[in-house]
Amino acid sequence: MPSVTGFDEPTDAALAAAWQAGSEQAATDLVRRHASALARFLRGAGAGPGEVDDLAQEAFFKAFRGLDSWRKESSFRSWLFSIGSNLLKDSYRRGKGRVVLSIEDHDVAVRRDPVSELVAEETAERIQVGLSGLPRLQREVFLLRAQQGLDYAEIASALGTTTGAARVHYHHAVKRLKELIP
Amino acid sequence: MTCQELSDKMPAVARGAAEWSPAEAAHLVACAECRREWVVVGAGRLVARDLTVNADALAGVVLRRLRTEPEARLLPRSRWLIGLAAAAAVVLLLSKASGPAPLPRGPAAQPLAVHVSGLTALNSAGLADVLESFDTMWTETSTTDAPSLDDLDSQELERVQGSWEI
C-alpha cells in the first residue's frame, strides 16, 4: 500500500497531519509519492497530454485544502483519485476534456529490445485507445484496478459507487477490451 | 479453479504482488478467455507508463497556490443568509408561477337585486327612481375610485377611446 512504504517512511496520514500542522515538506512528500500514479490515471482516463499537469495540480490543491474531508477509511491515494476523477468529469462537462485518445509520439513508450516488451507496449497502446471508447466508469474502474492495483472497495470509494457495481464495470470493461486482443 | 478466481487475482500478479499457483498456471494455459484477459490486464498496467511528472515542480506550484489563494471558506452566518436568500427566491418563484396577483378587494359587495319582471309595470317616474337607485348602489358597492373622463389627459382619453373601438 502506498501509505506504508517502509519503516522509515511516514504514512500518508502522518504526512497529511504534518501538513495540517504547517509542514510544507510533508505536502511535498505526498506529491512526490502520488503524483506519478495520479498523472498516469488521469492520462489513461482520457485527459489530454497538456491537461494532465493542470488536473494533477488542481487535484493536489483541492486535496490539501480539503484534508478535513478525507475519511481515513479510504487510502489517501484513492481519495486523491476521486478528486482527480471528479475534475476530469467537470472538464468533460465544460467540453475541455478529450474523449477520444490518440497515441502521440511522446506517449509511445521507449521501446526496448525484447520482442515480448514490444508486443506488450503495442498491446498497451491498443488498450489505451480502446479505453477511450468505454463509458467513463468502466474506463476508470479498469484503470484503478489494472493500472493502479486498487481493490474493489477502494475503487468504489474513489468513484462513489459500490463494490458490486465496480466489479460489474470492471467485468464489462475487460470484456470489451478483450475484443481488441487478436 | 474458476475463471473468476483467476480474474480477481490478475492485477496483483501483474504488478508482482502475487504469483500463480501451479493449478492457476495450468488453468491459464488451458483457458483461452483467461489468457486474453491476462493480456488485457497486463497491458492495462502499462497504460501511460512512460508519462513523466516533475513532482517537485508540481509540489512547488501547489504550495505557492496554497499560500497565495485565499481559502473560500464560508462563515456559518453567511451560509445561513445564503439559505434564507435561496428560500426567499423559491417563494418568489412559486408565487409568480401561480399567476397574477388578484386585485385588492374591499368590503364584500352587496348583491344587486333587480327584479326585471316588475319593470314593465313602472311608469317613467318609477323607472327614473330605479335608475337612481342603481347609481346609489354603484356608489355604495364600488371599491374602486372610478375617475371620470374629465380627469384624463388627452393621451389617456385617446387610449380609452381606442379600447372602445376594439
- pLDDT(B41) > 80: yes
- pLDDT(A113) > 50: no
Minimal Cβ distance to A61: which of B14, B47, B62: B62
Share of chain A above pLDDT 70, in %: 84
Q: Which residue of A has its CA nearest to B16?
A: A149
CB contact under 8 A, B46 and A44: no
Q: pLDDT tens, B121-149?
A: 666 666 665 555 555 444 444 444 444 55
Whether residue A142 lies within 8 A of chain B, CB to CB, comes out as: yes
For residue A121, what pLDDT is reported? Answer: 78
Minimal Cβ distance to A127: which of B44, B51, B58: B44
CA dist., res. A81 & res. A85, Å (int): 6
Which of B7, B15, B49 would you mutate first to test chain A, the one with the most A CBs within 10 A? B49
Query: What's the CATH fold of domain A12-178?
Result: Arc Repressor Mutant, subunit A (1.10.10)
Share of chain B above pLDDT 90, in %: 38
CA dist., res. B13 & res. A40, Å (int): 20
DSSP A146: I
- pLDDT(B6) > 80: yes
Query: Range with the lowest mean pLDDT among A23-27, A136-140, A174-178, B102-106?
Result: B102-106
Q: In the predicted model, what is the mean pLDDT of chain A? A: 85
User: Which has more confidence, B78 or A29?
Assistant: A29
CA dist., res. A92 & res. A47, Å (int): 9
User: Which has more confidence, B32 or B86?
Assistant: B32
- What grid cell was written down for A61? 490543491
For residue B134, what pLDDT is reported? Answer: 52
Whether residue B108 lies within 8 A of chain A, CB to CB, comes out as: no
CB neighbour class for A173 (10 Å; exposed up to 12, middle 13-18, buried from 19) = buried
Q: pLDDT category, B118, cuts 50, 70, 90?
A: low
Q: Which chain A positions have a beta carbon within 8 Å of B60's beta carbon?
A: 28
What are the domain boundaries of chain A? 12-178
